[in-house]
Structure 1
Amino acid sequence: MNRNKISAALLILFSASALNASAQNVPASTYNPSWYVAPSVNLLDADARFLGGNDKNGPGAALRFGRAVSQDWDVQLGATYGQAKDKDVGITYKRSTLGADALYMFSRGAFQPFLLGGAGVEFDKVNNNGLGGSASKTAPYLNIGAGLRYAFSDQWSMQADVRRSVGFLGNNSDFGFKRANNTTFGLGLIYTFDKAPAPVVSAPPAPEPRVEAPQPQPAQPRFEKITLSSTQLFGFDSATLRLPQPKLDEIATSLAANSQVNNVVVSGYTDRLGSDKYNLKLSQRRADSVKTYLVNHGVTANRLTAVGKGKANPVVECNEKNRVALIKCLEPNRRVEVEQITVEKQVR
């Protein structure tokens, strides 16, 4: 397999992974922090200089252990073995490695494209039966790569990846060159030892009491909570208000006519999918957009407070094991209750 084919395969695999994540158009699922084992079969495309200048490839295998350490990152530790032969000249090249990789995960849904980088030590050995000699070297290496993982369930996945490694053999290498460039294509299964923990869902907030004014005095103001669906206010993953907004116009008119009503809180919410940092920022931007709209329609800015609450106060609990089913189950949260804008105002 020549270098052009290697480059093309790397580009195709990563492009397919990125397109797959984009095509899902859904937030990533919550990651499973449990350890997993990942055996694989490999194809080693060896540096041609180990084989007398002949470009050859051969079989190999790998065994890695890993775990997700955050929503965006995995770590993997393990060993690989591969060999390539040129039977015409009687040269056999063998390569073993022991190292660690960090994987940046673009998604935690069913399709999980990723980039990786890592380091370790490799043992290179060449047996030249035609000349009756051999050479070997233990050296450090660095590698980069890309891959795609598909989750069948909460515990079983398949992973395909390609890794480009550079071995630093040094100036005194018996091989006659200082750096070795090897590429490995891998395909394997992943088994996660424990199931993902069930999401913790807090109880919805209790409704605020409606306080009636004592008689015979005039009725005192009471608080009313108005909940607006984010799908009616914004486009997907956007904080720009759709127009027109008759409900917001009604709220603005009411507040403008009742200047004694202060401390009006505009709260933005999202669901639990995706990173906490991103959800908090999105909820804050949406709350700010509603506040700006009300100010532009006659409500004094110092009467309004915009608060982004991220994934707080979820109302639906989903325990599906399959990731695709979990995303489907959480649709009501994203559409109505969780991605919501709540305006609290006093009314008579």
Structure 2
Amino acid sequence: MKKFLMMLAFASVSVAGMAQSETPELKHSVATNSFWSNWFIQANLAGTAFYNSSETPLNLDKSPLKGFRNNLGLSVAIGKWFTPGIGLRSKVNGFWGRTVWGDDKEVNANKYWQFNEDVMFNLSNMICGYNPNRVWNFIPYIGGGISRNMSYDSYAMGLQFGLLNEFRLSRKFALNLDLAFSGNEPDFDGDPRTSGTDADRPSLKAKDRTFSLEVGLTYNLGKASWNKVPDVDAINALHQSQLDALNAQLADANAENDRLNDLIKNHKCPEAKTVTVKEVAAAPVSVFFNIGKSKIASRKDLQNVKALTEAAKDSKFVVTGYADSKTGSASFNQKLSQKRADTVADELVKMGVSRDKIEVVAKGGVADLTPISYNRRATVEIK
């Protein structure tokens, strides 16, 4: 048992060191998911050390590595994250324990189980922002529940707090390293001794206590990530800049129309008539995408594209795809910008534009616009 606990401690230090070297990713806000999203189950192997509320007069070694104190066990849990930072977990653990009568581990052996309901706080997401690719998540928790010592047919209430370290293995799996302390009513371990002890005092020594170190796996059920909130401010700001550009071009067109009308009015030709000059604004129309996606974020953007195609029915169009250069590799962004351009070109065809009148261009990752999220788009303009 001593070797097992030392190996677990060494593994925790090694994996934590690797977690510190994770590559930073872009943080983003998330929307609340449905009730059936973000559930998880856990299964762990546990090493637990036991401390008796009535053992003070025995002057026993306090080390959790002593065989008369510790034993192996198992734990299983099911839980749900309601936000990236707050979740609930129902957990059962046991099943081989110790009642510390002395330093003989065989005499001390018992069987027990504990059920706890924990409130969990993912401080990594709460402090640093949600990141689905984060290697290490730091999750303190606190909870309470009931315990039963099956060997002595006794029940007790208790409180526990701990620290769950989750190390991401894939989208579905994570490695657990769970450190926990629990304090239970003095009759938890079935020891009836109270004379000459601290059992009547409101202190930790008056409780039956356990320290646990657990290693296992978390499996994420169903949808294991969070929906991203579209960058509405950025999209609105860019749309406003496009409207300003269109208004400026319209003002120029009206000025040119007035100039031509003045020329016609002052011309000596009697059959001269007022002519209205129409121009189609040449500003590109943008269609936006979420980070890493080639599916159009809001189909409302296609209304502007539809208006442009109707105003220039016989024109040729250029569709240009972009990705932001701050995320993803150059090769990934090139492919992503091509997919975005192809997606918008397909929409033009659905609007009645002939495929041979559409030129598709992929610009890859760029940083032309600020903030960087403005560059996750495809543009449509008249050639």
TM-score, with length taken from structure 1: 0.52
Q: 1:113 — aligned with what? A: 138
Task: Quote how far apart the aligned CAs of 1:328 are.
Answer: 5.0
Task: Quote how far apart the aligned CAs of 1:48 are.
Answer: 5.0
Q: 1:287 — aligned with what? A: none
Counterparts of residues 312-331 of structure 1 (less than 5 Å)? 315-318=289-292, 328-329=327-328
Task: Quote how far apart the aligned CAs of 1:110 are.
Answer: 2.4
Are residue 215 (structure 1) and residue 255 (structure 2) matched?
Answer: yes
Counterparts of residues 149-160 of structure 1 (less than 5 Å)? 149-160=166-177
Given candidates 71, 95, 115, the residue that maps to 1:58 is: 71
Given candidates 72, 75, 90, the residue that maps to 1:77 is: 90
More helix by share: 2
Q: Which digits, 9 at most, give the CA deviation of each residue in 1:100-128, with x for residues without a partner?
A: 11111123522111111111111236x6x
Mapped to 1, the partners of 2:366 and 2:18 lie a distance apart of 23
Name stretches of at least 5 consecutive residues in structure 1 with no aligned partner: 128-134, 219-224, 226-312, 321-326, 343-348
Counterparts of residues 67-146 of structure 1 (less than 5 Å)? 67-84=80-97, 87=104, 90-105=107-122, 106-107=124-125, 108=131, 109-124=134-149, 135-146=152-163
Q: Which digits, 9 at most, give the CA deviation of each residue in 1:211-263, with x for residues without a partner?
A: 32423679xxxxxx9xxxxxxxxxxxxxxxxxxxxxxxxxxxxxxxxxxxxxx
Mapped to 1, the partners of 2:149 and 2:54 lie a distance apart of 9
Counterparts of residues 184-333 of structure 1 (less than 5 Å)? 184-195=212-223, 196=225, 199=228, 204=235, 206=239, 207-208=242-243, 209=246, 210-213=249-252, 214-215=254-255, 315-318=289-292, 328-329=327-328
Counterparts of residues 25-36 of structure 1 (less than 5 Å)? 25-26=24-25, 33-36=37-40
| Cα contact 1:64–1:77 (8 A) shared by 2 | yes
* Secondary structure of 1:317's aligned partner: coil
In the superposition, relative to structure 1, how do residues 158 and 328 fare at CA in structure 2: closer, same or farther (>3 Å)? farther
Task: Quote how far apart the aligned CAs of 1:148 are.
Answer: 1.1
Mapped to 2, the partners of 1:161 and 1:334 lie a distance apart of 43
Mapped to 1, the partners of 2:212 and 2:366 lie a distance apart of 41
Task: Quote how far apart the aligned CAs of 1:84 are.
Answer: 3.7
Mapped to 2, the partners of 1:169 and 1:338 lie a distance apart of 63
Q: For residue 215 of structure 1, what is the amino acid of its counterpart?
A: A
Q: 1:164 — aligned with what? A: 181
Structure with higher Rg: it is: 2
Q: Number of aligned residue pairs: give it.
A: 231
Q: 2:192 — aligned with what? A: 174
| Cα contact 1:147–1:162 (8 A) shared by 2 | yes
Residue identity (%): 11
In the superposition, relative to structure 1, how do residues 317 and 93 fare at CA in structure 2: closer, same or farther (>3 Å)? same
Mapped to 2, the partners of 1:79 and 1:60 lie a distance apart of 11
Q: 2:276 — aligned with what? A: none
Task: Quote how far apart the aligned CAs of 1:139 are.
Answer: 1.2
Mapped to 2, the partners of 1:122 and 1:83 lie a distance apart of 13
Mapped to 2, the partners of 1:335 and 1:165 lie a distance apart of 53
Are residue 41 (structure 1) and residue 81 (structure 2) matched?
Answer: no
Mapped to 2, the partners of 1:67 and 1:319 lie a distance apart of 27
Q: For residue 185 of structure 1, what is the amino acid of its counterpart?
A: L
Mapped to 1, the partners of 2:210 and 2:45 lie a distance apart of 16
| Cα contact 1:314–1:337 (8 A) shared by 2 | no
In the superposition, relative to structure 1, how do residues 329 and 170 fare at CA in structure 2: closer, same or farther (>3 Å)? same
Mapped to 2, the partners of 1:334 and 1:122 lie a distance apart of 59
Name stretches of at least 5 consecutive residues in structure 2 with no aligned partner: 126-130, 200-205, 260-282, 295-325, 334-364, 375-383
More strand by share: 1
| Cα contact 2:53–2:207 (8 A) shared by 1 | no
| Cα contact 2:43–2:217 (8 A) shared by 1 | yes
* Secondary structure of 2:255's aligned partner: coil
Q: Which digits, 9 at most, give the CA deviation of each residue in 1:166-190, with x for residues without a partner?
A: 1123799724334111111111111
TM-score, with length taken from structure 2: 0.48
In the superposition, relative to structure 1, how do residues 112 and 337 fare at CA in structure 2: closer, same or farther (>3 Å)? farther
Q: For residue 139 of structure 2, what is the amino acid of its counterpart?
A: F
In the superposition, relative to structure 1, how do residues 62 and 81 fare at CA in structure 2: closer, same or farther (>3 Å)? same
| CA RMSD in angstroms, aligned pairs only | 4.7
